[in-house]
Structure 1
Amino acid sequence: MNAPFPPIAHAGPFPDVFPPETRAHFAASYPEAPHLLDHRLREHPLLTLDALAALGEALPPASVEYNRGDLPIGVDGKPEGNGLTIGETIRSIASARSWAVLKNIEQQPAYATLLAALLDEIEGEIVARTGSMRKTQGFIFVSSPDAVTPYHFDPEHNILLQLVGSKEMTVFPAGDPRFAPHSVHESYHTGGPRELVWRDELAAGGTAFALEPGKALYVPVMAPHFVRNGPVPSISLSITWRSEWSFAEADARALNRLLRRFGLSPRPPGRWPARNLGKAYAWRVLRRLGVRD
């Protein structure tokens, strides 16, 4: 078993990471519009390369993912590994030509405190729109110069805070089947991959957001995106949460996949503020009865 991550003194976040004007902008745009935000989270003892390498070594293997970063925007399945350990990858990120993500950092108490403090600042704005925050999670991305995170989507509401270096994230409209077919969404919510098929003609539909230290980006649930890192190593912190809306959308997608097996052509779930509760409740009943796709 991995040893627990050692506590670091004075590891709490700086106060008021999200200034009032940022919270107001977030409240006006959440949950459907991707938008840039300002933040004040700068140098922090939990977010240095040495601390992150130690965190990667302390997390269970299922909570770390790292691979080559010299990739195209679209990949077929999971990218190749880089032949290094997670600790080696992070400590040598300047030359490793790699991309690494540390998942569910809240498994370590110091990082759980950091995540909770950041989300507490914007909880009021979130609850007012989509209700209680559920399944809060944190992810840290460490990327080599010019590394690419291929085209994919994620099931969470997500704010990505850029801490070191720069990157450009290109985001595509959520729920638009031109960028992520409904069948792919349905497959993902019943255990399939989140990687998407890239075609160059899709590029015109994306919006590129430039991120540098002090900037953050809110990404809506299931909005397709890809990331290009800048010319120096990058560290980013992703704070995420689920809502009843996001769970209902996922369950409605799962039911639609089952309906297609019976030759039907179900309507896709509606985007927020549509609630999708009818299909969601039906799938939850079927799941309790042991029905699986």
Structure 2
Amino acid sequence: MTAQGSITPGKETMARIFPDSARVAFTAAYPDRAAALVHDLAGHPLLEPAALADLAERMPAGSVEYNLGALPLGVRPDETPSNGLTLGETIRTIETNGSWAVLKNVERDAAYGALLDQALAELEPLVARWTGPMLHREAFIFLSSPGSVTPFHMDPEHNILLQIRGSKTMTVFPARDEELVPPCKSEDFHKGGHRNLEWRDAFMARGVPLLLEPGDAIHVPVKAPHFVRNGPDVSISLSITWRSERSVAEGELHSFNALLRRWKMPVGKITPQPEKQRARRFVYRLMRKLGA
């Protein structure tokens, strides 16, 4: 697939990243269901390995995470093994070094920021009617060696993952399933706890696998658990994310429940539309302001 959606910083392009079919599928699923989409960024020059290695080497160390990719589905954060390479070496030899890497907040680079802006501008009118303005817009780039595994985890953002090179299978599980993500795990997560989740083989039947090849994409709802298995070639994926009043409200209410639980008080139920639980959010914000 050619990169019809290419951007030169400072210039606009008329070509769209998401065709009409993707916009229809996204509208039908957002915000609560996963959905298969398509895009037109495969082959984009900013997303080629050499460009990404250069980007990685000029990024702050805190904006990069990388490790060995041969991992089980469930792994403790402190047990994730290092690959013993520098970041540049990891990316330039990703085909053979058995690693996984993520470049975080690449939108801080002007060219990648323009790419994110174009992609989200195409979806913003569809998003606004359900969850309001797009907040805290970010982009992440994932590079994976053949056969790498991203363990079972969840993310706090609305997310669309675009497959650029190679293939991977993402298995997505329902959001708000308290057996998959117990309330205490959500509360810890929103206090800064790690994204990885406890894996049980019995969970597998609840997941829906989706094969992603160049030009494919998937919408992943906020905190929908998932894991990823890379295919037989190097994989490059772009993740475009945003927050909303709904995702912010959910975080506030889980944080409020964590306080109540610590004080041995009854916790509150968090509804599918937490942004409407204004009274509880007001109390939590007041308590936070008072230093509780």
Normalising by structure 2, report the TM-score. 0.93
Aligned to 1:55: 55
Indicate if the aligned counterparts of 1:259 and 1:266 stay in contact, CA closer than 8 A.
yes
Q: Is the 8 A contact 2:249 2:275 kept in 1?
A: no
- Mapped partners of 2:182, 2:194: distance in 1: 13
Instruction: Report whether the alignment pairs 1:10 with 2:8.
Output: yes
**Alignment length (residue pairs):** 284
Paired with 1:290 and 1:222, the residues of 2 have a C-alpha distance of: 28
1:1-293 equivalences under 5 Å are 10=8, 15-78=15-78, 79-272=80-273, 275-291=276-292
Q: Which runs of 5+ in 2 are unaligned?
A: 1-5
Are the aligned partners of 1:253 and 1:268 in contact in 2 as well (CA < 8 Å)?
no
SS in 1 for 2:238: strand
Letter in 2 for 1:140: I
Structure 2 residue matching 1:183: 3-state secondary structure: helix
* Superposition deviation, residue 273 in structure 1: 7.0
Indicate if the aligned counterparts of 1:249 and 1:280 stay in contact, CA closer than 8 A.
no
**How far is the alpha carbon of 1:9 from its aligned partner?**
8.5
Deviation by residue 1:197-239 (Cα, 9 ceiling, x = unmatched):
1111111111111111111000000111110000100000000
Change (3 A) 1:273 1:261: closer
After TM superposition, which residue ranges in structure 1, 4 or more long, deviate above 6 angstroms? none
Structure-2 separation of matches of 1:270 and 1:208 = 27
Displacement of 1:81 after TM fit?
A: 1.3
Deviations 1:99-124 (A, max 9, x none): 10000001111111110011001111
Question: Residues 81-137 of structure 1: CA distance to partner in whole angstroms, max 9, x if unpaired?
Answer: 111111111110001101100000011111111100110011110111110000000
Cα distance, 1:36–1:272 mapped onto 2, change above 3 Å: farther
Q: Secondary structure at the match of 2:152?
A: strand
Between the aligned partners of 1:236 and 1:56, the Cα distance in structure 2 is 15
The letter for the 2-side match of 1:160 is L
Shift of 1:174: 0.6
Say whether the 8 Å CA contact 1:14–1:40 is kept in structure 2.
no
Structure 1 CA distance for aligned equivalents of residues 226 and 90 of structure 2: 24
Amino acid aligned to 2:19? P
CA deviation string 1:65-86 (max 9, x = no partner): 0001000000012412111111
CA deviation vs aligned residue, 1:51-77 (integer Å, no higher than 9, x gap): 111111111111100001000000012
Q: Which deviates the most, 77-86 or 278-287? A: 278-287
Q: Provide the secondary structure at the position in 2 that maps to 1:161.
A: strand
1:139-193 alpha-carbon deviations (Å, 9 max, x no partner): 0000000100011100000000001000011111111111111100000111211
Unmatched segments (≥5 aa) in structure 1: 1-7
How far apart are the structure 1 equivalents of 2:269 and 2:196?
Answer: 20
Residue identity matched to 1:28: A
What one-letter code is carried by the residue in structure 2 that aligns with 1:235?
A: I
CA-atom RMSD in angstroms: 1.6
Please give the alpha-carbon distance, in whole angstroms, between the structure 2 residues aligned to 1:55 and 1:275.
41
Quote the Cα distance in structure 2 between the aligned partners of 1:65 and 1:100: 6
Q: Secondary structure at the match of 1:93?
A: coil
CA distance in 2, matches of 1:80, 1:278: 45
- Structure 1 residues 55 and 14: CA distance shift in structure 2, 3 A: farther
Question: Quick check: 2:166–2:236 contact (8 Å CA) kept in 1?
Answer: yes
Query: 2:276 is paired with a residue of what secondary structure?
Result: coil
Paired letter, 1:193: H
Report deviation, 1:276: 3.1
Kept in 1, the 8 Å contact 2:249–2:274? The answer is no
Task: Tell me what 1:3 maps to.
Answer: none
| Other structure's SS at 1:194 match | coil
> Shift of residue 14 of structure 1?
7.5
What letter corresponds to residue 225 of structure 2 in structure 1?
P
On the 8 A contact 2:161/2:218 being kept in 1, the answer is yes
Structure 1 Cα separation of the partners of residues 152 and 7 of structure 2? 38
